Structures are given as structure tokens and as C-alpha cells.
Structure 1
Amino acid sequence: MPTISTTDGVEIFYKDWGSGKPIVFSHGWPLSSDDWDAQMMFFLGHGYRVIAHDRRGHGRSAQVADGHDMDHYADDLAALTAHLDLREAVHVGHSTGGGEVAHYIARHGEARVAKGVLISSVPPLMLQTEANPGGLPKSVFDGFQEQTAQHRSTFYRWLASEPFYGFNRDGVEPDQAIIDNWWRQGMMGGAKAHYDGIVAFSQTDFTEDLKKITVPVLVMHGDDDQIVPYADSAPLSAALLKSGTLKTYKGFPHGMPTTQAETINADLLAFIQS
């Protein structure tokens, strides 16, 4: 399997398919690069080079005990882009991966970056604070951590079966194969990485990161997102970006790159080609 070793000795698995303009995909919690299958195959078929890695502690990357924070996530992504010597790359992040993309661009600069895309993403800040009253209470994320530590398999099955893809909505038919694939990806990763990652995606404030970014960024979000609520994420992120474009999808769930792949892929292609 292709891997790189980070400066702190962590083996990071990655996929690198095709040639042409590079598109780099950063996955959400607690999944893996496999979550981008529909996008990677689509863009590979359109002549692009597609790259995706398993975040440290996730998927096929090393299940290390430490470094499960946004600084390490961004630095691991920077190590991958440097190793592959990517230029003029488009960085696409879903959920936690959107935070990773924003922090990477702000922390490591735009020399290798052409554009960014934040899909159903956690910025600017998920946690409810005095400055962010629309965020979710810390008790929500404490519950996530408790369930991850004590009942991870059951908790992951519930997340995939109900809120992540909106399968708990009236008139929406659950897709068991999608549920099983989500659970498979989640259970491949390490419980410690996933436990710590909840703090990383919920408590990191990306406000200053977003303000630093000057390349064009497309912010895509469904207004029925039950994981990262729309009102306190996408519109605020788009407003903080110097060159941000907000695209809102009526009724789409958090996992829309999978359940609404045809729509999302077409809009991604239009943005990348623009």
C-alpha cells in the first residue's frame, strides 16, 4: 500500500490515481478515503488526477495514540502534498475534512493551492460559546465521546442508519449497503483517534483560518444537515472567506456526497472548471 511517513513517524495511507490537474480529497470523521469513491471515480473519468488519504488513526493509516488535532491533520496533509509535489491543486473537504482543508491552506499557505471546496463542513466553529451562541452545546459532543468509548459499534450503526444520511426522515428509504459501508469505514479506524477527533472537529475555531484564505472557495451544504447544522456553518464560512461562494441544497443531508453524488459531482466539476 502507498504510504508516507510524517515528521513524527506516523504512516499515512493514500491513493493517487490518474494524471492531469490534481484534486485532493479530505474525508470526514470517523471515515476514510473510501468515502470519496463516487467523487474519485467521477473525476478520474474526466481526466483529473485524484488523491485521497486516510487521516492518522483512520482507515489504513497508523492507529497512533497522539496527534489527533487540527494542527497535525493539516501538517499531515501538507506532508502528502509535498511528497507528491502537487501544484495548483483543488482541495475538497467533507465535514471534519473541510476543517482540515481550511486549516491546511491557512497554516501552510496557498503556493500549491488553486481552489478549495468545503462540503457539509465544520467551520467556522461547531461548539456553542458566548461568541458563537448558535453552536451546539458541549454536552452533545461529550455524548459522542462517551458513545465512541463505550459503544462504538452500536453508535456508528445508529449514526449511519439515521442522521448522517437523513435516513430517519419521512419518505427517505434507507440504503443498507451505504449504512454498512459507513460502519465498515468507521470500525477500521482507532477508537482513540476517533475519541480525540471529536474535540478536534467540535472545538477548533476556524474563523481566522477562513479570513486568511484568498483562493476561490466553494461552500456546499444541505439545509437538512443533522450533523453540522446549516445556519451556524456554511453561511458564516462563506461570509468570512475573501472569495467564497455559498451553494445551498434544499433537503440534502450531511452525507450528500454519497446519497446525492450526481448533483454534488456536477457542481464540483463546474466550479473546478470555472
Structure 2
Amino acid sequence: MGTVVTNDGTSIFYKDWGPHDAQPIVFHHGWPLSADDWDNQMLYFLSHGYRVIAHDRRGHGRSTQTSSGHDMDTYAADVAALTDALNLRDAFHIGHSTGGGEAARYIARAKPGRVAKAVLVSAVPPIMVKSDSNPGGLPIEIFDELRATLAGNRAQFYSEISSGPFYGFNRPGVNVSQGLINNWWRQGMMGGANAHYECIKAFSETDFNEDLKKIDVPVLVAHGTDDQIVPYADSAPLSVKLLKNGILKSYEGLPHGMLSTHPEILNPDILAFLRS
């Protein structure tokens, strides 16, 4: 574990496990979580010989609770500061949800030789909010309601998300994990309310179309068809069309948090892609 200090004085917390001469995998977490959301994947890929690195986004987890910089450009710049400090070469980048947007923005701007492949899982690109150019998106009123609910009672809000749509635990007959619910809530409450509030705009209104067009490394786009947070039809299939070297893998009936509910399915598929 360590920290990297960015140009504006923000301390970015990160975990760095495994031999430093192994090929690195950088994990980008979703909103409003932290590097801890990747415990399963970090242990899995560590056991397969990789160096695994995960950071807490600014305002999240153990990183500085800044008053500014809660936008995708700054998030990507923070990742660049981390990869520069660790001098990561030919790294794999795996981003979930908001972390998929962060990864896409970083990779589109990364220095040559920094990135080998990427995986976007249940990711927010190309753009979530509905507009004339994105008629299948979600109305802005949905995100306004998220902000209002967060500001009103963040603790209750996070309890309802984690016990309901995030993991699909509101579906009949599903196997509910109280541990996952508790861990999601714990991670969320570690971060700053202001950062989480402003990040809703970042993940919902940022347009990643041009970022995706610029990415020339192979990218696996994985998405569950029962994603209640980032709807499948307006995300994964559209992203693959924009990527120069994208592969779409759909998971029938799986939820937004499928990396945690079904790691035994996702982890081997991601490993196969990274090794291909």
C-alpha cells in the first residue's frame, strides 16, 4: 500500500501486490466504492502471476476528500500520475462502472507503451444521460433524483442501492449476500459526500464517444443483460461499435455488480482475454 501525490496536492491511495517485474493489472473501481471492491479479482490475478494495483479515486476510500476535481479529466490525470510514479508499462486496465469511464478516458490519453489491453465491465461509456444524440439514455431527472436522495440521507440511500439493484438482490429467487451489501455500504460511507454527489454528474453526463474512438488496444466489453444501473442496450453494444478493436461479451441475466456476484464466471473469462 502507498500513496501518490498529484499536482494539486491530492493523495491517491493505492494497493500494489505481486512481483514488480510481472505484467501489471490496474483496477478502476465504481461509484461510490474503493479499491477494496476488487479484493476478489486482485487475489485471483495475483495467484496467476500478475502484479495487481488498485487505487481509491479522489474523494473515495482512503484518498484525499478534495473539494474539487470530481470530473473525468481529473480522474484520468490522477491515474496518469499513479502509472507514471510506478512506471507501469504494457499494463492491463480493468474498469467497472464509473471506473470503466475513468479507464477509457485515461487510455485514450495514455503515453505510448503504457497500456496493452483493457476490460470494461458494466461500464458507463459511451454516455448515460438521454439527449437528442443519445435517445436511448436515461432521463436527467433520474440523476437529479440520485443527487437529492444522496444529499437527504446518504446512509439509507447506500443501503437501498446495495441491497437492491446494484447486485440484483431485488430480483425474485436470487441468492442474497449480506456480506456484499455490508461491504458496499462500508466502502461508500468511507468517501466524501461531496465527491460522491459531484461524481454522479461525471459518470452520467460525460461523453466518452471520442475516447473510445481513439483507443487502439484490444478491449473486452463485458456487460450483464439485467444491469439495472447501467442499462445494457445503451452501453456495451454501442461502445463496441466505437472501438477499433473491441470484443463484446454479454452475460444473460447478470446484474451490474456481476464481478462480485459471479466472479467464478467473470474472472476466467477476463483471464482468457488477457492471455489471448
TM-score scaled by length of structure 2: 0.98
Moved over 6 A (4+): none
**Aligned-partner Cα distance in 2 for 1:22–1:107:** 19
Say whether 1:143 aligns with 2:136: no
SS of structure 1 residue aligned to 2:93: strand
Distance 1:238 1:117 in 2: 12
The offset of 1:173, in angstroms, is 2.5
Deviation string 1:77-114 (CA, Å, 9 cap, x unpaired) is: 00000000000000000000000000001123442000
Letter in 2 for 1:108: A
Map 1:153-168 → 2, pairs under 5 A: 153-168=155-170
- Structure 2: distance between partners of 1:204 and 1:120: 16
Q: How does 1:1-274 map to 2 (within 5 A)?
A: 2-19=2-19, 20-274=22-276
Q: What's the secondary structure of 1:192's corresponding residue? A: helix
SS of 2:157's partner is: helix
Question: For 2:238 and 2:63, how far apart are their aligned partners in 1?
Answer: 33
Q: Deviations over 1:138-175 (max 9, x none)?
A: 00000111111111000000000000000000110221
Moved more, 104-113 or 225-234: 104-113
Percent identity of paired positions between Structure 1 and Structure 2: 66
Secondary structure at 1:78's aligned position in 2? Answer: helix
Distance 1:111 1:66 in 2: 30
Question: Contact between 1:110 and 1:215, CA under 8 Å: does it hold in 2?
Answer: no
Distance between the aligned counterparts of 1:172 and 1:36, measured in 2?
22
Aligned equivalents of 2:102, 2:112: Cα separation in 1:
14
> Matched residues in 2 for 1:11 and 1:109: separation?
22
Distance 2:156 2:204 in 1: 21
Root-mean-square deviation (CA, aligned residues, Å) is 0.7
Structure 2 residue identity aligned to 1:54: D
Tell whether the 8 Å contact from 1:56 to 1:68 is kept in structure 2 after alignment.
yes
Amino acid corresponding to residue 96 of structure 2 in structure 1: H
User: Are the equivalent residues in 2 in contact too, given 1:32–1:58 (CA < 8 A)?
Assistant: yes
